[in-house]
Amino acid sequence: MTDCSQLKPLTTRFYCDVPGLDTEKIYLMNGAGVGKNTGEQGVRLDFNHSQTPKPIQIISVREGHAFPEVQVRNTVTVEAGVSASLILCDHTTSDFAFVTETWNEFHLAEGAQLRILMMQNEHNTSTHTTNIKVQQEKHSFFSCTLITLHGGTIENRFEVTLQGEQAECALNGLFLCDGAQRITNAVRVRHAVSSCRSNQLFKGLLDDRAVGYFNGHIRVDKDAQKTEAMQENHNMLLAPAAKMYIQPHLEIYADDVKCAHGATIGRIDENALFYLRSRGISLAEAQFLQQFAFAHDVIERITLPPLRERIADLVGKRLRGELHPCAGCARHCC
C-alpha cells in the first residue's frame, strides 16, 4: 500500500478539477502512488480526529501502453465518531484498451460517517471492474454517489454489511451511456442486526446500442428486526436499440421489517415533450430538460454544494452533446 502522506500531485501531466472545491489530492498512475517506487498498488487511508477537514480526492489515471492490466486496492478506515468526505475519480489519457480492477474496502467504526463521490470518466474502449466492500459498526453512516460519465465496459459491485445496530447506508448511482457501452451495477446489502436502514437509488440514461444491467439484492437476517430497506432502479431508453436488464431481489428472514423495491424502464414522455414544445421550447431543449430532470434525483443527493453544482454541470454537458467534439480524445477533460 502507498502512504498518502508521501504522495505528490502530478499536476504537470494531468489535472482533475471535478470537485470545484479545495481538496487534498492523491494521484495514482497506473495504480501506483506518484513519487513512490513500489510494486504495490493502491492507497491506505485512516481517518481520525487529527485528520484535515478537507475532502480527500484519489485521482486514478491510466496512461501509456506499459501497464495494460492493473489491479488496485484501496483501504479506508474511519475511526469512531469521525466524519469524512472522499472523492474517487477514474481517468484515462490514451485510448489503449486498458483493463483495470479496483478493490475499495471501507470500515466504519462506531458513530463514524463517510460520504463518497465516485466519478468514472474513462475512454469508451476501456474495461474497469470496481469492487466496493463496506463494513459498518453501530450508529455509523455511509453514503456513496456513483456518477458514470464515460467508459467502455464497466462493472460496479457493491457489498455492504450493516453489522452494528442503528447503522445506515445510502447508495446512489447515475450512469449515462451511448455507443456500444456496457454498464453493470450489482448491489448487495446485508442487514445483519436490528434497527438498521438502507436506501438505494440507481438511474440510467441509455442511447444508441448501449446495454445496462442492474442486479440489486437486499438480505435481512433473522435477527435483523425493525429493518428499513428501500431499493429503486429507474431507466430511460433514448434509442430503439438501447437495452436495460433489471434483477431486483429481497431476501427477508425477519418479520418486523419495512422493505420495498421498485424498477422501471421507459422512454421520453411524448405528452410532456408536446407540452414543452407548445410553449416555444425547441425539440432538442425539451428532450434535454426531460433527461436532466430524470438525472437530477441522483445529483441532488450529493451533499457538498460546490461538488453537486460541478457534477450537475458535467452531466448537463454530457446530455447536451457538448462533449461530442472531443469524442476522439481519451481524456474527457473535466
- CA 85 to chain CA mean position, Å: 14
Q: Give residue 152's pLDDT band: very low, low, confident or very high (50, 70, 90).
A: very high
> Left if phi > 0, otherwise alpha if psi is -120 to 50, otherwise beta: which for 288?
alpha
Task: Kindly give, in sequence order, each residue whose CB lies less than 8 Å from that of residue 121, ignoring residues fewer than 6 positions away.
Answer: 18, 89, 90, 91, 149, 150, 151, 332, 334
Which pLDDT tens digit goes with each residue over 302-313? 988 888 999 999
How many residues make up the chain in this entry?
Answer: 334
Which pLDDT tens digit goes with each residue over 131-140? 999 999 999 9
Which pLDDT tens digit goes with each residue over 187-241? 999 999 999 999 999 999 999 999 999 999 999 999 999 999 999 999 999 999 9
Percent of the chain with pLDDT over 70: 87
Nearest to 90 by CA among 31, 133, 6: 31
Task: Kindly give, in sequence order, each residue whose CB lies less than 8 Å from that of residue 321, ignoring residues fewer than 6 positions away.
Answer: none
Q: Please check whether residue 138 is in contact with residue 166, taking contact to mean a CB–CB distance below 8 angstroms.
A: yes
Q: What's the rounded mean pLDDT across residues 145-156?
A: 96
**Mean of all residue pLDDT scores within the chain:** 88
Which pLDDT tens digit goes with each residue over 253-293? 999 999 999 999 999 889 888 888 898 999 999 999 999 99
Amino acid symbol at 60? S
User: Does this model's pTM top 0.95?
Assistant: no
Q: Apex CA 104: angle with CA 232 and CA 164, to 5°?
A: 65
CA dist 147 and 166 (Å) reads: 27
